[in-house]
Structure 1
Amino acid sequence: MNSTPIPRFDLIGLVVSDMAASLAFYRRLGLRFPEDAESAPHVEAQILGGLRIAFDTEATVRSFAPDWQPGSGGRIGLAFLCASPEAVDASYAELTGAGYGSELKPFDAPWGQRYATVLDPDGNGVDLFAPLDHIPVQ
């Protein structure tokens, strides 16, 4: 039996083209970052349950991996649980009204959720969803 402790999932990391634009987008979804983080090369936010999300600028990544290039197409998806189906529509309207792109307009999905997808400043799909049966979010 191996006595090495099993690693614990701790952090979701995204490489961003524009830190200020990315922070503005994710703040609209309720993530809290330090107020003066827009020009930082690395920024983190605590998420419920102890998980963290971190953003690194492309320049930061290239400082230790000089040949790094951004991937093409969406390779990561993030999903945000909304309080109700109406909150999905409201969040979608607020984000697209602020100029962020849309991948999927809100719809009632066959798996029982109100569902929509917006695009963050780097083109990553960010899902907004809520159960259709109006179970309150805890």
Structure 2
Amino acid sequence: MTPRFDLIGMAVTDMARTLDFYRRLGVQIPAGAETEPHVEVALPGGVRLAWDAVEMVRTFDPDWAPPTGSPRINLAFRCADPAEVDRRWAELTGAGFHGHLAPWDAFWGQRYAVLHDPDGNGVDLFAPLPAS
């Protein structure tokens, strides 16, 4: 069998704050998950997204240390239209989450914005621009 891509996992320092961030992006996360050391959900298409509390990660990798510098990967969320990019950006930054690059019309034909989740992971919002 060929390996099949199945899960994106992230270590988190504040599970409740992280789940709040992803819920605001529309990820369906069960109520009460904030108190769990490991949370995972199936996304449309079957790939799973998972979060592990740093304390949980250190139970099997005691030398784990958070990365430093800029994120090396970004999760990208497609929005219905350019107005939703702006609306989600405003909601998340208004809730105190870090906005890295405010919404702009990118030369590749998308309305685009970049946020950071509570642990500094890049999270992109995008939507196709109307044809001119």
Identify the TM-score tier after normalising by the shorter chain. Answer: over 0.9
The aligned amino acid for 1:32 is Q
Q: What per-residue deviation string (whole Å, max 9, x for no partner) do you get for residues 46-75 of structure 1? A: 101111000001111100011110111212
Instruction: Give the superposed CA RMSD.
Output: 0.9
Equivalent residue for 2:16? 20
The aligned amino acid for 2:66 is P
Tell me the matched-pair count: 130
Equivalent residue for 2:74? 77
TM-score by length of 1: 0.91
The question of 1:100 aligning with 2:114 is answered: no
Among 121, 124, 135, the residue aligned to 2:121: 124
1:55-70 matches, cutoff 5 A: 55-70=51-66
Is the partner of 2:56 in helix, strand or coil?
A: helix
- In structure 1, stretches of 5+ residues that fail to align are none
Among 82, 85, 89, the residue aligned to 1:88: 85
Is the partner of 1:106 in helix, strand or coil?
A: strand
CA shift at 1:109, angstroms? 0.2
Q: What per-residue deviation string (whole Å, max 9, x for no partner) do you get for residues 104-125 of structure 1? A: 0000000000000111111111
**Following the alignment from structure 1 to structure 2, what is the Cα–Cα distance between the partners of residues 101 and 70?**
18
The aligned amino acid for 1:23 is L
The aligned amino acid for 1:6 is T
**Following the alignment from structure 1 to structure 2, what is the Cα–Cα distance between the partners of residues 39 and 76?**
26
Pick the structure with greater CA Rg: 1
Is the partner of 2:45 in helix, strand or coil?
A: helix
